[in-house]
Amino acid sequence: MRDCVKFYIDGRWVEPVGTGKFEVIDPATERVAGQLRMGAAEDVNRAVTAARRAFDTYSRTTREQRVELLQRVAAQFEARKADLQAAVTAEMGCPNWLAEQAQVPLPATHINVAIELLKTYAFDHLSGITMVSKKPIGVCALITPWNWPISLAITKIIPALAVGCTMVWKPSEFAPFSAQILAEIMEAAKVPPGVFNMIFGDGPTVGAALSSHPEVDAVSITGSTRAGVEVARNAAATVKRVHQELGGKSPNVILEDADLEKAVASGVRYMFLNSGQTCSVPSRMIVPRSKLEQVVAIAKATAETLQVGPPDSGAFVGPLVNASQWNRVQQLIQKGIDEGATLVVGGVGKPAGLAQGYYVKPTIFSDVTNDMTIAREEIFGPVLAIEPYDSVDEAVRIANDTPYGLAAYVHAGTLEKAREVGSRIRAGQVCLNGDLDLLDPHSPFGGCKMSGNGREWGAFGFEAFLEETAYVGYQPASAAS
Catalytically annotated residues: 245, 279
For CA atoms 18, 233, 220, 85, give the dihedral sign. positive
State which H helix or E strand residue 89 sits in: helix 81-92
Q: Which residues pair with 365 in a beta bridge?
A: 343, 385
- Contact (CB, 8 A) for 388 and 287: yes
Which DSSP state fits 308? B
Q: What angle do CA 200, 201, 204 make, to 5 degrees?
A: 155
Nearest in space to 218 (alpha carbons), one of 135, 275, 294:
135
- Burial code (b: 16+ CB inside 10 Å, e: under 16) for 128-151 equals ebebbebbbbbbbbbbbbbbbbbb
- Contact (CB, 8 A) for 339 and 374: yes
Question: What DSSP letter does each residue of 153-194 carry, written as one string?
Answer: HHHHHHHHHHHT-EEEEE--TT-HHHHHHHHHHHHHTTPPTT
Instruction: Determine the Cα–Cα distance for residues 75 and 95; give it in Å rounded to an integer.
Output: 25
State which H helix or E strand residue 211 sits in: helix 208-212
Nearby residues of 288 by Cβ (< 8 Å), 6 or more positions away: 254, 255, 256, 388, 389, 390
- Contact (CB, 8 A) for 406 and 429: yes
Question: What DSSP letter does each residue of 386-446 carry, written as one string?
Answer: EEEESSHHHHHHHHH-SS--SEEEEE-SSHHHHHHHHTTS--SEEEES--TT---TTS-B-
Instruction: Determine the Cα–Cα distance for residues 232 and 201; give it in Å rounded to an integer.
Output: 18
**3-class SS of residue 237:** helix
